[in-house]
Amino acid sequence: MNSPVPTLALVESPVQLLNVLEWAHAHAHTDIAHTDAHTDAGAAAGAPAPLLAAVPRQPGSLPGRARRPKDGPPRPDAGWLRVVVLPPTDPMSRGQLRRVAGIARDEGHAVHWQEARGGSGSPFGALAALAPAVRRAGRIVVGDPFSRLVQLLLVPARTAELTVVDDGTATMEFIAQLGRGERLRRWHRTGGGALSRARELAYAPVSGTARRRLTPRGGRVTEVFTSMPVTPLPGMRLRVNDFAWTRSRFGPPRLTKGTDLVGTSLVETGVVDPARYLDAVRALTLEHGVTRYFAHRRESPEKLRALSEATGLEIVRPDLPLELIARRGPVGRTIVSFPSTVVHTLPYALTGTGVTVAVCDIDPAWLTAAASPRARSFLAGVTETARDVHRLPAQAAPAAG
């Protein structure tokens, strides 16, 4: 296989890091297919086969983590991908990140942990430490183009190739905003106060530079590697993330008789009213025989305690992204979720396992007064565009009142 372009990946969440592994797997397959086509053509023309073709592939496995398929591609050339983890401050995210980072190292990738928030780290300290690597990178992979830290790190970038992998459903909004030429702003954010607007104004030059870096024009290539249903912009390269790496390394899972419910951080982001959310979880538990609740890593302990007391559900705090947890199993024959990333990713990850993924709409009455004007239409779009999922009947949601 030809040596790929040296790549630097900047990730801030476990899901981003998982999707970088998926991207690297897909990228390696593409290069192998390209190389094999050239090899076959050379053989047909009488060219000698490469010497490495005579070396048998060595069997191997990742004990306790993942299996390597016997007929899969070899690991990527050492050193072609360097992953920089920029961890958040919350313990759940950091714990999941450390575990996925261990899997990434087992896959042969270099992983560097760079503190950039609070305590021992700062955004400008991270910029000083990483700027040389950013300038040298032949390709940069980012997981969250809305992140101010990532936008700051893109300022010294010189590469003409930039890849965006999913950090969730925000990929849909990223492409829409980029296409409209708008400043990048998270869908659930409201206007904020005077201080917030002053900060955004001061940060505008950095945000503008990042937006130009991410826009495909003038020889710059922007690739989007996603499980989301998006339409690429002119000049943008789209590659579907079908979780081939996850499916090749884990499972298939053992199925339980119960139903699992996937939690969401919509309460924590101020979009959904806490009492309405508790009512919705209680109703879904009774109607669908839910036995386990997979908590989102940002859900507060107080909220989870209240849910457990009100419903009797077993609360599970996953130590890995849910796509890996579900693929390893055991997992319910039905997984119910509110509009979120997993209604797009789990059907890919669980293809052929017999698991049904169902989605429950967010009733507009559940939204808080502080929810952004975009919240209702965005959440509806997440549900309506999900593939291979079961839409729960409207009566599954509790009535307002």
Residue 76: pLDDT over 50: no
- The answer on pLDDT for 54 being more than 50 is no
Summarised one tens digit per residue, pLDDT across range 286-310 is 999 999 999 998 899 999 999 999 9
Q: In this predicted structure, what is the pLDDT of residue 110? A: 95
> pLDDT value at position 227?
95
* pLDDT score, position 73: 44
Residue 50 pLDDT exceeds 60: no
- Mean pLDDT score, 179-191: 70
Q: What is the mean pLDDT of the chain?
A: 82
Lowest mean pLDDT of 31-45, 111-125, 210-224, name the range: 31-45
Q: What's the average model confidence in pLDDT over 33-38?
A: 40
Lowest mean pLDDT among 37-46, 143-152, 388-397: 37-46
SS3 letters across the chain = CCCCCCEEEEECCHHHHHHHHHHHHHHHHHHHHHHHHHHHHHHHCCCCCCHHHHCCCCCCEECCCEECCCCCCCCCCCCCEEEEECCCCCHHHHHHHHHHHHHHHHCCCEEEECCCCCCCCCHHHHHHHHHHHHHHCCEEEECCCCCHHHHHHHCCCCCCEEEEECCCCHHHHHHHHHHHCCCCCCCCCCCCCHHHHHHHHHHHHHHHHHHHHHCCCCCCEEEEEECCCCCCCCCEEEEECCCHHHHHHCCCCCEEEEEEEECCCCCCCCCECHHHHHHHHHHHHHHHCEEEEECCCCCCHHHHHHHHHHHCCEEECCCCCHHHHHHHCCEEEEEEECCCCHHHHHHHHCCCCCCEEEECCCCHHHECCCCCCCHHHHHHHHHHCCCCCEECCHHHCCCCC
Report pTM: 0.83
Q: What is the mean pLDDT of residues 188-201?
A: 61
Local confidence band at 176 (pLDDT 50, 70, 90 cut-offs): confident
> Is the pLDDT assigned to residue 190 strictly greater than 80?
no
pLDDT confidence tier of residue 398, bands split at 50, 70 and 90: very low
Whether 35 has a pLDDT exceeding 80, the answer reads no
